């Protein structure tokens, strides 16, 4: 044993430890922000598994996030279920919708796949608006406070909220690391690099990509459910096109196909928007310029460039 198999786990574990310490020292404003970032990073990890490691350029992930969000919110408000069960329902909703979408969308590839997933996401968003009397439409609805309790902890307060967000993030990033380091992870990368050659080696592209899309949907669904439970709001805007584009931007910014890239991308973009909006109403222009500079000078993303220089342990 030379310790080499442990090396890819060091960076995620170090990040988890740092985030755990931050939970005790952050002021209230940043405490709440970090909880949001951790949940959105789980969403970004789901996208990274599909796009970063397998090459599935999707514009439909808002559908999976929204499915988890609404499954949890409606289950609490209409069914009176507990937060734990609502998280499980959100997980299953994201994975189930991803499975149904993938069975049809994966009959296409490349730009066609991107367009088909976008169409599915838009159809889901329009359905939420059409059934606004039930879903709340654009106005949405507030998740009942009685359903935002887990194991006796009130998730509307800073400590338990951050604790659940960190726990979910920990499971997600360790799960992502395990997936990409496993033999199946190598198959995912083979599909990304050359699907036809991978098929010649005996791997079924449709089956592999469908499994990947379902895993990605599970991540997205549980992230949506957690977002609704922790922050108490469910609305159709979370299923709009921007929530399909955002995870793509987060992954590209942090580093596509890297374990820590999704978190880094969400963290930087969140605070870039937060800080720039304090000085100008054109904060999205600031984000656009930052992304343009990134594409020109660091096309692999921040961690993608570092990985090229320092080694594949960041993969």
Q: Tell me: the pLDDT tens digits for 68-86? A: 999 999 999 999 999 999 9
Q: What is the pLDDT of residues 6-47, one digit of tens each?
A: 788 999 999 999 999 999 999 988 999 999 999 999 999 999
Asked, for residue 71, whether it belongs to a domain, the answer is: yes
Asked, for residue 194, whether it belongs to a domain, the answer is: yes
Based on C-alpha coordinates, what's the Rg of the chain? 19
Mean pLDDT of the chain: 92
**Contacts of 182 by beta carbon, 8 Å cutoff, 6+ apart:** none
Q: Please list the helix, strand and coil fractions of the chain in percent, rounded to the nearest 5, in that order.
A: 75, 5, 20
Mean pLDDT over 195-205 rounds to 90
Instruction: Decide if pLDDT at 314 tops 70.
Output: no
Q: What is the pLDDT of residue 282?
A: 78
Mean pLDDT over 166-176 rounds to 97
Number of domain units in the chain: 1
Instruction: Decide if pLDDT at 281 tops 90.
Output: no
Mean pLDDT over 48-61 rounds to 95
Residue 309 — pLDDT band, cuts 50, 70, 90?
low
Asked, for residue 114, whether it belongs to a domain, the answer is: yes
Q: What is the pLDDT of residue 1?
A: 38
Q: Which domain holds residue 178?
A: 9-241
Q: What is the pLDDT of residue 138?
A: 87
Asked, for residue 176, whether it belongs to a domain, the answer is: yes
CA angle in degrees (0–180, nearest 5) for 281-243-269: 50
Q: What is the pLDDT of residue 315?
A: 57
Q: What is the pLDDT of residue 2?
A: 46
Q: What is the DSSP letter of 71?
A: H
Asked, for residue 200, whether it belongs to a domain, the answer is: yes
- Pick 281 or 122 by higher pLDDT: 122
Mean pLDDT over 206-224 rounds to 97
Residue 3 — pLDDT band, cuts 50, 70, 90?
very low
Contact assessment for residue 236 and residue 131, using Cβ atoms and an 8 Å cutoff: no
Asked, for residue 187, whether it belongs to a domain, the answer is: yes
Strands (E), 73-191: 141-142, 149-150, 153-154
For residue 142, list its beta bridge partners. Answer: 233
Asked, for residue 308, whether it belongs to a domain, the answer is: no
Pairwise CA distance, residues 237 & 129, whole Å: 10
Asked, for residue 29, whether it belongs to a domain, the answer is: yes
Q: What is the pLDDT of residue 46?
A: 97
């Amino acid at each position: 044993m030379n310790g080499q198999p442990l090396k890819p786990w060091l960076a995620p574990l170090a990040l988890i430890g740092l985030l755990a310490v931050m939970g005790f020292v952050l002021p209230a404003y940043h405490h709440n922000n970090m909880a949001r970032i951790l949940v959105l990073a789980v969403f970004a990890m789901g996208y990274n598994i599909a796009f970063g490691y397998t090459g599935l350029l999707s514009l439909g992930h808002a559908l999976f996030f929204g499915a988890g969000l609404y499954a949890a919110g409606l289950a609490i408000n209409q069914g009176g279920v507990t937060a734990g069960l609502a998280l499980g329902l959100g997980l299953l909703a994201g994975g189930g919708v991803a499975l149904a979408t993938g069975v049809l969308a994966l009959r296409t590839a490349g730009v066609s796949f991107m367009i088909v997933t976008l169409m599915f996401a838009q159809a889901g968003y329009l359905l939420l608006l059409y059934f606004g009397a039930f879903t709340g439409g654009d106005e949405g609805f507030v998740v009942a406070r009685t359903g935002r309790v887990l194991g006796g902890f009130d998730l509307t307060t800073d400590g338990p909220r951050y604790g659940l967000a960190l726990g979910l993030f920990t499971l997600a990033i360790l799960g992502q690391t395990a997936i990409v380091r496993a033999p199946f992870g190598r198959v995912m990368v083979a599909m990304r690099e050359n699907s036809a050659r991978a098929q010649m080696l005996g791997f079924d592209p449709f089956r592999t990509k469908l499994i990947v899309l379902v895993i990605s949907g599970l991540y997205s669904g549980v992230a949506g459910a957690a977002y609704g439970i922790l922050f108490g709001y469910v609305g159709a805007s979370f299923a709009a096109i921007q929530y399909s584009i955002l995870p793509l931007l987060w992954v590209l910014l942090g580093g596509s196909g890297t374990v820590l890239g999704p978190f880094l991308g969400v963290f930087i973009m969140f605070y870039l928007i937060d800080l720039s909006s304090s000085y100008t109403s054109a904060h999205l222009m600031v984000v656009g310029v930052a992304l343009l500079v990134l594409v020109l000078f660091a096309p692999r993303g921040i961690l993608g460039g570092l990985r090229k220089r320092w080694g594949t342990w960041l993969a």
